[in-house]
Chain A
Amino acid sequence: MVPARLPVVVYAPTPPTAREQRCLDGLEGRVLIAAARSPEQLLEEVSAFLLDVKAVLADPAAPPEPVLAPGIFEGKRVLIVDDDVRNVFALASALEAHGMEVLYAENGVQGIQTLQANPEIDVVLMDVMMPELDGYETMRAIRALPEFSALPILAVTAKAMKEDRDRSIAAGASEWMTKPVNPDELLALIGIWLYPISELEPQVAL
């Protein structure tokens, strides 16, 4: 059951089957069906969609409502691995404002230790440019642990070079972003990864 006011993004990189198309037809107008070929394109489409949702929901008489359904981040735990805590402090405010708990590790080794000590962590934000055990190595090490094979890991790279992106995905990142991280974009991506499509599949009565 999809709550009425929760924006839904269906990511469909390959053409849908007939059955899938019937499900999607039922959702037309309430969801964005994204067929983006790249993360940046996906982010663009989602951001535009969320702005549209905001415009539709806007009603001068009603009190302002948050774009994303309130509470969807409440209590969620995010681990940020970054060798410079100043980057983390700035983001923490935005994430905590939505009720998220922020855990911090300043290097890859501590990141893995923190993850193992806190297995209920919902998403990881991984800086790839760290001295010693870099982000790529750390992600590989995390993915090698079966309990974390499905954990959303968002890699943060310094530049939008194709090699960095490919390297991140190859190392096990679910998604990547470039520095400096925009808090609103980060929240949008976390939202997408916390609520995977499979959990939002409509119940089709046959």
Chain B
Amino acid sequence: MLQANNPRARGVHTGRSVRPVMAAATAPHPPVVPTDDQLVGRAALGDRSALDELFRRFRQPAYRVAYRLLGQEADALDAVQEAFVKVLLHLDGFQGRSSFKTWLLRVVSNSALDLGRKRARRGVLPAESDEDGDPDPGVLTIDDPTRGLENADLRRALDAALAELPDVQRQTFVLHVDGDLSYKEVAEVLGISIGTVMSRLFYARQKLKAALTPHVMP
């Protein structure tokens, strides 16, 4: 039995026995989360796991931006795919002047706008179904289907109102709200001043509010 006054003894006296206390140095290390720059560097060298992680980290904001600009899942996924391919093919030219996220969102928003213009030129209307051909369920809540339909109507109204905005206002608005970018980041993505970002947001919101007035806005 270890004695408490033994300076070489380390333990916790629990009454019946002494449980040795493991030193902090042997505790398992928390997993090291690579930074975006580290992932970009590894992906540029061909690390498939880094590519997968970049995709997993940034697919959501990219998809939200693309979907809000295009209004349907299939086209939004196409825009996301195209954007990731473009940035991944040019990783060696990425000098880190901006963050990977702002770079990606610039490419995906431009890809989405281009895709939208091509679709408009071809006379293709947004499909009302998702990728599997099922009707777009919108945001439905199981416990209150009525509320879900209201949400879907509000979302469609918002999408329609967004579609009426000039491209520059729509892109600015979506990057700020769905891309979760600050004014400074939006300005960086679009190559404009912060004042211009502010102005575009102001007038975009005015128009959207007017278009959404018939709907119950929270």
Chain A bound to chain B: no
User: Which residues in B have some Cβ–Cβ distance to A below 8 Å?
Assistant: none
User: Which residues in A have some Cβ–Cβ distance to B below 8 Å?
Assistant: none
